[in-house]
Every structure is written in structure tokens, then in C-alpha cells.
Chains A and B, each alone.
Chain A
Amino acid sequence: MPETILEARNLTKVYGQNTIFKNINLKVKEGEAIVVIGPSGTGKSTLLRCMNLLTRADGGQILLDGEDITAKGYNEDKVRQHIGMVFQNFLLFNHLTALDNVMIGLTRVKKMPREQAVKKAMEELRRVGLLDRADHYPGQLSGGQQQRVAIARALAMDPRVMLFDEPTSALDPELIGEVLGVMEKLARDRMTMLVVTHEMGFAREVADRIVFMEKGSIVEEGSPDDLFYHPKNDRTREFLWKITELYGKKEKDKGGAA
């Protein structure tokens, strides 16, 4: 039985009068790739941001390796070193080269000696296929390349788990593949991952488990086969139908344009 790395227990988040989600329970086990799907505005991003304490949850607990990281007085900065995060809009440090983007966490947060940090950062850039772009600034990189550097930046910290928040949503269609490719490789290497995405192909191929979230609660979860082919809940079926329709249409448009 693999160990639970990251766990949300009865997690609740409120913005003003708005309950974004309530009593969410979610376990991410070692080596597992979980994909979260659901309509926009459902609270998927907020959930991820709560998981690495970028946003404070209003109720419930988050456990990292069994420790309650939401406990009072817990060192948040320490926690985030162990939880990698990849954002929809990349958020590379604009004034740093790709190499420095990947390195800065090592030198400034982990206090790793520079030489060792360079070596490690180069290794991570190689892993995402961007060794030859090490001295490029974000402004000199395509969206797909920027997102791969962002993945390398998170990986460099040797996180226990990686959170991805719609990592390909801001990309031109022709650049999505290279990012999904890197993520697929990570999953094959048994990196523990929690991924919010609308890429159903990726979800079907890579996910160990799919979680369908709607209006702030988890409606259904299960293996890709169960969810895609035998959804128990009508809302799940409806959402999947809509999104495959949309996705299929985009595919067709792409085919038509080619």
C-alpha cells in the first residue's frame, strides 16, 4: 500500500460570502498521478493554492507526509519547498535566465553552493529538453518552453509532490504537446502529481485516478476507464460529454485548417 503524500481533510474555503468549496477530502498517494477536472469557476485553482498554503483554507486540514501543515505556527516556507507548483501562466522570473530561474530556489532557499546548484539546474533543464536554452530569458522563449522551464524550476527543489494548474491552457495548440510530453514522462517516472487540466487525452492516458469537481465539491472520482466509460453521476456524464464535444471540435478545426 503506497503512502499518502498529500491529503486534504474536510477542506473548506470561503471568500467573503462565497463558499468556494466545502469539506473536500482528497488523498494523493506516492507515485500517483491524479487529474482534477471540472467546469471553470468550480474552485480547482483555489484548491491547489490551498494545498501548498498560497491561500489559507478556512476549515479542515492539509497533511504532507502525515504532518498537519495547516497547524498554527507551522513553517509555511518550508512546506512550499516540498510542494512544486506549475501555473497556468508560467510565472517565470522575468529578470532571470532559464538557468537562474531553475537555480534560484536552490541557492537562495536551499542554500546550495553555486557550483552544485548549476549542475542540478542543468540536469533539470536537460530533463525538460531545454539544455540549449539555459542562457535565454523568459522573453526569448516560446510559451511551451517557458512552461517547461517552470516545470524544471519546480522539479529542482526535489518536491514530494507536483501541483499543476491548467499548465497548457495558456498555450497555442501546437505547443501543448511538448508540455504534456514532459508531464507524461514525469508520471512514468512515478512522480507524485496532482493535475488540473482540460486535456482529456492526457487524463485518459496518464491519470491513475480522475476527480470530477463541480460547484465546490467532488462529485465523483475513479479510474479513467470508470469515469470516461461508466460515469455513475449524471453531472459527470454531462460534463465529459460537453468537454469531449468541445475538444473534438477543436481537433476537427485543427484538422480543417491544416
Chain B
Amino acid sequence: MFSNFVSYIIQGTAITVAVTLVALPFGLVIGLLMALLHTYGGKAINRLAAAYSLLMRGVPPIVLLFILYFILSGEINLSPFWAGSLSLGIVSSAYQMEILRGALLAVGGGQMTAARAVGMSRLQAIRYIVLPQALRIAIPPWSNEASIVLKDSSLVYALGVPEILRRAQQLSATTQQPFLAFGTAALIYFVLVFATNRGLDYLSERTKLPTHP
């Protein structure tokens, strides 16, 4: 019975990881686009991007999740898994946008100027000069956002996606062992977050630019 218990939760873990692996990159793509528009766009575009960020970060993720879910599943007829994951990604995009915006700011305008001075276009300068530096700077705060998305993936529970939390809840009800069920869930989340942060720490270390001879 115990092994059934464990394997049931582990299947949920795979779904949690899958939700995160969809939400994070999706949020990264939108967040990066928004950060670039905010930093390099004209006044109107800049305002629009700022409003997007303000709006998305001013509402609880679960509320946004429901709204986006009903749009995505209702209008485009996506499955709960996809609608939930993409919604989570959209919520995260605003936070990732702010992280990347800060990183672009930290790189500074001088790098863009120098790139333009050797004859690069704005797009070339962003691609070859600014982004490689900004992404490096963004890794530590992005690692934090990655663990938030990992934990917030439990919100899709509310949409009926059978991820860790939903399964823990079912087990708790059927086995009458809430502590075991939720304790296992907590442990799995902790291990996932820990591994993610460690992995990104390693990446940050590996891509660090050398200083001093």
C-alpha cells in the first residue's frame, strides 16, 4: 500500500515538473519581449509594457489564473494542463519582465552605444552585446522566480490538474493520513526547489565573467 502511495504522488511530481517546464520558458519569452519593449521601445510602447507589468503584479496569481484559465480553456478549448501552465507562465512573465528589465538597466546604455559605434544595428547590439550580459546578471533573481513558479504550480490544483498537491489531497482523504500525504508533498516541493536553485547557482558560477588576472 505504501509503494502505491508513493508512486501515486510521484506521478503527480512529473506533472508538477511539466507544468513548471511549460510555464517558466513561456513566461521567459513574454517577459523578455516585454522587458526589451519597455527598455528600447518608444514612449507609447514603454507605457503599455509598464501597464502590463503593473496589472499582472497587482492581482493575486490565483485570481489571474482563474481569469486566464477561463479565457484559454473556454475560448481556445485548451486542456486544463495547457491552459493552467500557460496561465501560470503569463502570471510569471510580469515578474520575469521586471527581473530582465533590472538586468538590462544594470548592463547600462554604454554597451549599446559602443555596439552601435562599431556599426551594429539595435537588434544586433541587443542580441550580441546586451543580452549575453543581461542574462548572466538575471540568473540569481531568475532562480528565485523559478522556485516561485515551481511552488505556484500547485495553484493549478484548483483547475483539476492532478499534480502533487491535488494527489496529496486525494490521498489524505482516502487514507485518513493527512500528515503523511501533505508531508510527502512538502518534501517533494522542497527537493525540487532546492535542486533548481542549486542547478541555477551552478549555471551562474559557470557563466561568471573572470575578473583579475
**A contact set with B: CB distance below 8 Å:** 52, 54, 77-78, 80-81, 84-85, 87, 89, 91-95, 104-105, 108-110, 136-137, 139-140, 153-154, 157
Contacts and interface: CB of A to CB of B under 8 A. Distances in A.
Given A139-B209, A139-B210, A139-B212, A91 B118 contact: no
Interface stretch (B94-102, B129-137, B162-170, B182-190): B129-137
Contacts of A92: 114
B213 A136 contact: yes
Contacts of A77: 116, 119-121
Interface string B106-128: 00001101111111110010001
Contact of A94 (B111, B117, B119, B128): B111
A157 B128 CA distance: 17
B124 A109 contact: yes
A108 B114 contact: no
A249 B132 CA distance: 44
Nearest to A133: B213
14 contacts: A54-B117, A77-B119, A78-B119, A80-B119, A81-B118, A84-B117, A89-B110, A93-B111, A95-B136, A104-B118, A108-B120, A108-B128, A140-B210, A154-B118
Contacts of A78: 119
A137 B209 contact: yes
List the 9 shortest-distance A-B pairs measured between CB atoms, nearest first: A81-B119, A139-B211, A91-B114, A105-B118, A109-B119, A85-B117, A80-B119, A91-B110, A95-B132
B110 A87 contact: yes
Given A95-B132, A95-B133, A105 B120 contact: yes
Contacts of A85: 117
Contact of A54 (B116, B132, B211): B116
Given A89-B110, A93-B129, A80 B136 contact: no
Contact of B124 (A91, A93, A108, A137): A108
Contacts of A94: 111, 133, 209
Interface residues of B, number: 22
Contacts of A89: 110
Contacts of B136: 95
B115 A93 contact: yes
B211 A140 contact: yes
A52 B120 CA distance: 13
A87 B113 CA distance: 10
Contacts of A153: 118
A92 B209 CA distance: 13
